[in-house]
Structure 1
Amino acid sequence: MLLGTLFTLLAQCLLIEATSCLVKHDGGFVPDHVLRVSSRNISIACTSRQSAVVNGTSPGPELRVPAGQRTWIRVYNDLEQENLTMHWHGLAQRMAIFADGSPQGSQWPIPPGHFFDYELQTTVEDAGTYFYHSHVGMQALTASGALIVEGCERPPYQYDDERTLHWSDFFPQTDHEIEVGLQSVPLVWPGEVRAVLLNGKGIGIGHEADVSPSGDCSLPVIDVDPGKTYRFRFIGATGLSLVSMGFEGHQNLTIIQVDGGEWTKPASVDRIQLASGQRFDALFKAKTEEELASEGRQTYFIQFETRDRPEVYRGYAVIRYSKASTTPHVPTIPPLTLPNNTYDWLEYELRPLIETVTQPTLGEVTRRVIINASQLTDPQNQHVVWRLANLSWTEAVRQTPLLVDIYKFGDLAIPNYDAALANYGWDPETRAFPAKVGEVLEIVFQNTGSLVGSDGAVDIHPFHAHGEHFYDIGSGDGVYDAEANEAKLVAMNYTAVKRDTTMLYHYAATTTPGAPAGWRAWRLRVTQPGVWMIHCHILQHMVMGKSADAV
């Protein structure tokens, strides 16, 4: 009976979508945007690398689409030997669930020499900062770009102009080389990041910056005008890095939006901390002509450093007030001291600007799903893998996309809800986590010490949910205590913001193997039928199995 109800709800949604808005694309169809993904040997981080690029560049072109309208984006796979999908990171895709871009979840991958027309059906509430990226293997290291949903209404905050700051990682190995190493026995880890790039530019370790800002090995530059207020759109398109960044002489940023459509009450910060998959929009107040004259400067540094990794990468960019100004040399002494702790940045501080609907209370929660994040050696094949709730999931797990199976086979393809309840929350047959429309879920990610070796290493994990955004209700050390955290929320009169990517931190570098080592908790009211991925957004971890499908 329950399986039939689940399928009926999903089938009705799919039927309405397919019949009321049926669109046929013949030879005369012209998409709103075209993206072509190919492989090129590009200049990057002061060297060259064979990389997946979008329309010939990395990052790809910034796309701007209107809120509340349908946009069609045609994506061509011009790679010679690799499959491709494109994910519209942060967009709920509630009305185009087949176009979410999750391979073997919502769609077949695009084979070489073919294209797929993606439908983006946004709402007026979606106006904000997103990005697009390939969802196959390690391609997202370079195959990504900014996606801005432009609203028709005046934003609730005033600013004169805006700048996009797209952050990415550089590794010298090719995507294929990294993937092969991660799937080898023994594991071949690709090492730590060799550069963090801002809008595709940055200085690789062991290289020196060109003086000319137009060179291939030059500091990134953000141009601003005196006296203006800017909306800085920070996009975390890194593959591995959690980046902490400070702005020399400008410790006056104000967070106004997070992860796309959620406007926040103003939150004053002196730095930005950005993990893979996250977006923050902040107001940046430029100095006046008088302040610049008093300080005798036209350029200031952005200092950025990786955090919670065995090695620290430090890089610089330049805030430039006059395009005629000479780009400064990389400082020999860092102008800023950035904190080492990461786990307390903006925790329990971000609040929605308009509190129309608040997060469910603990009393409203109908089901709690505990998802342990575990690293271990698979006893069957000796691969080092990651598991979520004892499930390791990659594209190779399924022969057919789960959503396609549901279209074709109905009840037989729907995850068994009762079987899932008895098996860590996921159905052993479909290897997917089922949820019922109307449920109020509390999802708890529990960090643990690694079972590989004997040191119990503890990693960090930016967890991302496709589809419906969730209320982030906090994090902490040790084991999650629902009653204690709820008491904290009530005492603070805290209203959570909706997010799509938040951090599972570590509070120590090592612990006892398998022991609890920190938690992150979400709550959501299930309202959007579909097949949606939940995964760690560190690309290496995804390749090693740290993903799951939810239906």
Structure 2
Amino acid sequence: MYLVRICLAYLHLITVATSLDTHSHDDSFTPDAVLRVTRQNTSIGGINRYTTLVNNSLPGPPLRIPENQVVWIRVYNDMTDDNLTMHWHGLAQAAYPFSDGTPLASQWPIPPLHFFDYELQTPNDTAGSYYYHSHVGFQTSTAAGPLIVEDPVAPPYEFDGERIIFLQEFWNHTDQEIVKGLESTPLNWPGETNGWLINGKTISDWGAVNRSSEALSVIDIEPGKKYRFRCIAATSLSLAIFAFENHTSFDIIEADGSYTQPNTVNLLQMGSGQRYDVLFQAKTCDELKQLGKLDYYMQLESRERLSVVTNYAVLRYTNSCNFTGSAAKNVSTKSNPDEPPLVLPPTINGFLDYALKPIIPNNFPSASEVTRRVIINIQLIEDQYYTWLDNGIDWTEDGSDPLNHTTPAEPYLVSLYNNQTANLPNYEAAVNAGGLDPVTKTYPAKIGEVIEIVFQQLGAHTYDGEVGGSLDFHPWHAHGNHFWDAGGGDGVWNSSVVEQQLAGTQPVLRDTTILYRYNESTGVDEKKGWRVWRLRIDDPGVWMVHCHTLQHMIMGMQTVWVHGDAKDILTVPRPDVEGYLTYGGNVNGNSSHAPQVLHFSELDGA
């Protein structure tokens, strides 16, 4: 174990900018939004399940917040059997170091029957579609909801209304059962998803026991109008591909919260954590009359899995066209169509790579600006246990690590405050080792650097004599500032190939892009499939970079990055943040006491 608890003699070593006053968030304090996370027996799509929910709903309620204003969101952990954090997926929180919601990196989790007040402030030009989700165990699969950052003025595209399409997967196992199985020796894999949830509803094709909870979601629209569909993949395991019956094109206008120039597609393919906003032109009454119906299916299928799981929603036109007879009859939402109305393609490797363009220039760094390159080799180790390694290291949330590589004793930001001398990564040693500090097992970066990150997948390694070489697809997600996605390809990464493929393109800012596998397997240890990002280091903090497949995260596929030196990160004196540095510290409220909270927005420049 590499993390060392503090000795008081080290406290004077922490460099600070200023101090803050503590605020008591008692009954006189009113948060801007309240989320309550519970566990309860729920029936979903015909399956009964002990489920983690936000505000007793699936998905959780949509949150809408303004740009560049401080917002307080109170999150209650009403569970009695688990910890909780809440992550604001896609939003960088550099000015609010304990608000990112990552138990491995930035904060102690909220203990059972306690609450925590998250302080958020999104920068200008971040209006778009995001989502919030728990960052503990497998809770994310259901404890999640849409998060919309509102445009301060009229958005750059005109539309008549908007709809949210929120995608999730679900299993007939509890969160704890899934985590226990993934951490077991031998591995107890939870299997394929039992169904897709579209806005919280579905009809499962797996052993339904409660037909009353089976239903298809309905997306209501009006003829002739143009809609902004906010499509959010809050998924767990599978690659999602979907399209709309008899609607053959729509325009992507935003990816991961960044506006793009319109890009016309006829379907969407999304990995866990990705978001696309599209302009969807509804059909006119004349067009609907030619088709002779008001209801059309949205068809959603899994990719990159052992079997295809298919589910549906209904795109329903209001009958303002005065249809009569059979044409006015709506399809049943209690059953799936007799036959799939669409034939969806197999995985589209490199979907939208090099195609999306920013709506305004976004300062994409050229190769000549790159100051350093970090290559992360990704590989599955198969034995009685299954572990995903990044450069030979796995990060696990609760200390379960069959290879004994890395077991964080506390959130890394807490470790830096507790003992900067022991826990601040050695930048020079990391550079000499290819980017990874050999002691702390983190990736340090200096403010002002321009880093190129290469994700390179290798064929799985086995120790039991069986044939190895298996591969998988990975939606890689970065906390903190967004990166420029520089594309990907098959085989071995090559810098010349990267530049050839980038020629004439205008990469967009993203926070989640996919490392494709291209084949189901390759030779053991053989390099197969790569992805490249470029990142300007200007957001100090402790940030996670990880695969957003929940099962892979639990199996170790996570890295921690430290952007900036101590003076950049530890901007408040240690005594002032004491309540944040202990599990169950006084920044957490409960039924008997109000939390004692810092307002980081009071810092100069925050």
Q: What's the TM-score, normalizing by structure 2?
A: 0.84
**8 Å contact kept, 2:545–2:561:** yes
Q: Is the 8 A contact 1:209 1:218 kept in 2?
A: no
Task: Kindly state the Cα deviation for residue 295 of structure 1 after the two structures are TM-superposed.
Answer: 1.5
Report SS of the residue matched to 2:422: helix
Tell me the amino acid that sits aligned with residue 236 of structure 1: A
Cα distance in 2 for residues equivalent to 1:47 and 1:221: 20
**Pair 1:548 & 2:559 matched:** yes
Amino acid in structure 2 at the alignment position of 1:390 = G
Q: Is this contact kept in 1: 2:102–2:135, CA < 8 A?
A: yes
1:213-256 CA distances to partner (integer Å, 9 max, x unpaired)?
xx520112111011110000000101111110011111121000
Structure 1 counterpart of 2:457, from 441, 444, 447: 447
Secondary structure at 1:125's aligned position in 2?
A: coil
CA deviation after TM superposition for structure 1 residue 353, in Å: 0.5
Corresponding residue for 1:230?
227
Q: Deviations for 1:454-494, whole angstroms, at most 9, x for unmatched residues?
A: 1411100000000010000000000111122113322xx21
Change (3 A) 1:206 1:398: closer
Deviations 1:116-153 (A, max 9, x none): 11011112211110000000000001100000111221
Alignment partner, residue 336 of structure 2: 330
Tell me whether 1:247 sits opposite 2:253 in the alignment: no
Q: Give 1:427 shift.
A: 1.9
The SS at the match of 2:248 is: coil
Preserved contact between residue 240 and residue 539 of structure 1 (Cα < 8 Å): yes
Q: Which runs of 4+ in 1 moved over 6 A?
A: 208-211
Q: Residue 251 of structure 2 aligns to which amino acid in structure 1?
A: T
SS of the residue 1:404 aligns to: helix
For the residue of structure 2 that corresponds to 1:301, the secondary structure is: strand
What displacement does 1:377 show? 4.1
The answer on whether the counterparts of 2:468 and 2:524 sit within 8 Å (CA) in structure 1 is yes
Instruction: State the shift of 1:294 in Å.
Output: 2.0
Give the AA of the match of 1:281. D
- 1:309 corresponding residue in structure 2: 305
Distance in 1, Cα, partners of 2:187 & 2:104: 25
User: 1:542: how far off?
Assistant: 0.5
Secondary structure in structure 2 of the residue aligned to 1:99: coil
Following the alignment from structure 1 to structure 2, what is the Cα–Cα distance between the partners of residues 321 and 25? 47
1:63 equivalent in structure 2: 63
1:202-217 alignment to 2 at 5 Å? Answer: 202-206=202-206, 216-217=213-214
Matched, 1:347 2:353: yes
2:329 and 2:63 mapped to 1: Cα distance?
A: 30
Match of 1:289 among 269, 285, 298: 285
Q: Quote how far apart the aligned CAs of 1:546 are.
A: 0.4
Q: Which runs of 5+ in 2 are unaligned?
A: 1-12, 320-327, 400-406, 563-606
What per-residue deviation string (whole Å, max 9, x for no partner) do you get for residues 18-72 of structure 1? Answer: 64x9755344111111111110111112111001101111211111111110100
Map 1:368-517 → 2, pairs under 5 A: 368-377=373-382, 383-395=385-397, 396=399, 397-452=407-462, 453-490=466-503, 493-517=504-528
**Aligned 8 A contact 2:492 2:529 in 1:** yes
Residue identity in the other structure for 2:338: T
- Give the C-alpha shift of residue 424 in structure 1: 4.5
Q: Residues of 2 paired with 1:443 and 1:11: CA distance? A: 30
CA distance 1:209–1:344, shift in 2 (3 Å): farther
1:274 aligned residue: 270
- For 1:311 and 1:161, the matched residues in 2 are separated by 36
* Aligned partner of residue 202 in structure 1, secondary structure: coil
Q: Give, as a single letter, the amino acid of the residue that structure 2 aligns with 1:148.
A: I
1:87-115 Cα shifts (integer Å, max 9, x gaps)? 00000112212100000310001110111
Deviation at 1:413, TM superposition (A): 2.3
Aligned to 1:6: none
Structure number with bigger Rg = 2
Structure-2 change in CA distance of 1:129 and 1:314 (3 Å): same
Match of residue 167 from structure 1: 167
The whole-number CA distance in structure 1 between the counterparts of 2:31 and 2:347 is 46
Contact 1:209–1:217 (Cα < 8 Å) also in 2 = no
The offset of 1:335, in angstroms, is 1.6
Using the aligned pairs only, state the percent identity: 49
2-structure distance, mates of 1:393, 1:281: 32
Alignment root-mean-square deviation, CA: 2.0
Partner of 1:3: none
Q: Which runs of 5+ in 1 are unaligned?
A: 1-9
Q: CA deviation at 1:342?
A: 1.9
Contact 2:76 2:115 in 1 (8 A): yes
| Partner residue in 2 for 1:135 | 135
Distance apart, 1:208 and its partner CA: 8.0
Instruction: Using CA pairs under 8 Å that are at least 6 residues apart, name the structure with larger relative contact order, 1 or 2.
Output: 2
Map of 2:81 onto structure 1: 81
